[in-house]
């Protein structure tokens, strides 16, 4: 049996996302989809070789990118809505003749043919319309086979391509784009406690040095002067085992 993509509203409670509400089932599965990932970087001025101030390495060919954050994960695809009778309500295609298609358009057939306007209204009710209980559009879950994506609609573009004699749409394409939805609690778990964007409290052990600890936490040993100042250390070379140090998050 053909598995069809579904889009279902979600509720967010206590940092968790769960499905809640009526599923919207596509008429035809997308022919393809685009799944976008991105990473944002900072390019500190000291990496760019400021010749006037003398800062930065001479002869550097390119600035060193410093990780800032992950960009929004996105998914986009195109949905087709057909009310000519070529595609039945169950999503299967038929070998409908031109004569039968004309009968469908004229409303002379008794076969169950989905209405394009009805399908588009259902889609908009699920992903686009304002929900007064939460005062914003809803989070939704896209599911297709083993693929699951929790997100919010970013854009919806409708292209109507066929009409009956009275102007009622018989065929349309919907280009949709969703951005991944992640709660703060989920984001913290994904980043884990080793993230340089979180505060770290460390108790030193034998052999620890401040540059070594800075490298382990920030992947950059050059932060040791700032950490020494924050912790009121007179020296960064000889750390007594058992010393409690605080490593603040990077700006």
Residue-wise pLDDT for 78-125, tens only, equals 999 999 888 765 555 554 555 555 555 555 444 567 899 999 999 999
CA contacts within 13 A on the Cβ side of 95: 0
Place of tokens 């900072």: 42
d(CA 242, CA 203): 5
Tokens encoding 123 = 């889609």
Name the pTM for this structure. 0.65
- CB 179 within 8 Å of CB 152: yes
Tokens encoding 223 = 């932060």
Q: Across the chain, where does the E strand assignment appear?
A: 6-13, 16-19, 24-25, 33-36, 39-42, 66-70, 74-82, 130-131, 136-137, 140-144, 147-163, 169-180, 200-203, 244-247
43-53 pLDDT, tens digit each: 876 554 444 44
- Would you place residue 235 in the very low, low, confident or very high pLDDT band (cuts 50, 70, 90)? confident
Q: Which of 8-12, 67-71, 76-80 has the lowest mean pLDDT?
A: 67-71
What are the C-alpha distances in Å from 246 to residues 27, 42, 47, 200, 238? Answer: 56, 24, 26, 6, 17
Give domain limits for the chain: 6-37+73-187, 193-247
Q: Which one is predicted more confidently, 192 or 64?
A: 64
Tokens encoding 90 = 């169950």
Q: Which one is predicted more confidently, 190 or 183?
A: 183
According to CATH, the topology of domain 193-247 is Membrane-bound Lytic Murein Transglycosylase D; Chain A (3.10.350)
Smallest Cα–Cα separation from 4: which of 26, 24, 21? 26
- CB 182 within 8 Å of CB 151: no
What residues contact residue 180 under an 8 Å CB cut-off, 6+ apart?
A: 72, 73, 74, 75, 149, 150, 151
Which helix (H) or strand (E) segment holds residue 213: the answer is helix 210-218
């Amino acid at each position: 049996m053909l598995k069809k993509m579904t889009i279902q509203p979600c509720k967010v409670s206590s940092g968790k996302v769960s499905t809640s509400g009526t599923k919207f089932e596509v008429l035809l599965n997308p022919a393809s989809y685009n799944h976008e990932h991105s990473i944002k970087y900072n390019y500190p001025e000291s990496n760019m070789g400021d010749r006037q101030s003398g800062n930065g390495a001479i002869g550097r060919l390119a600035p060193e990118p410093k990780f800032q954050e992950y960009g929004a994960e996105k998914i986009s695809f195109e949905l087709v809505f057909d009310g000519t009778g070529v595609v039945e309500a169950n999503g299967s295609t038929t070998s409908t003749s031109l004569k039968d298609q004309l009968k469908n358009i004229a409303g002379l057939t008794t076969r169950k043919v989905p209405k394009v306007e009805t399908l588009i209204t259902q889609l908009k009710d699920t992903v686009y319309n304002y929900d007064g209980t939460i005062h914003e559009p809803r989070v939704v879950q896209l599911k297709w086979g083993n693929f699951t994506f929790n997100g919010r609609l970013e854009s919806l573009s409708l292209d109507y391509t066929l009409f009956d004699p009275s102007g009622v749409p018989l065929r349309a394409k919907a280009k949709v784009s969703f951005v991944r939805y992640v709660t703060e609690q989920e984001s913290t778990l994904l980043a884990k406690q080793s993230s340089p964007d979180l505060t770290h409290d460390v108790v030193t052990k034998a052999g620890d040095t401040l540059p070594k600890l800075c490298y382990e936490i920030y992947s950059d040993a050059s932060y040791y002067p700032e950490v020494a100042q924050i912790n009121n250390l007179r020296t960064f070379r000889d750390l007594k085992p058992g010393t409690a140090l605080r490593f603040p998050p990077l700006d």
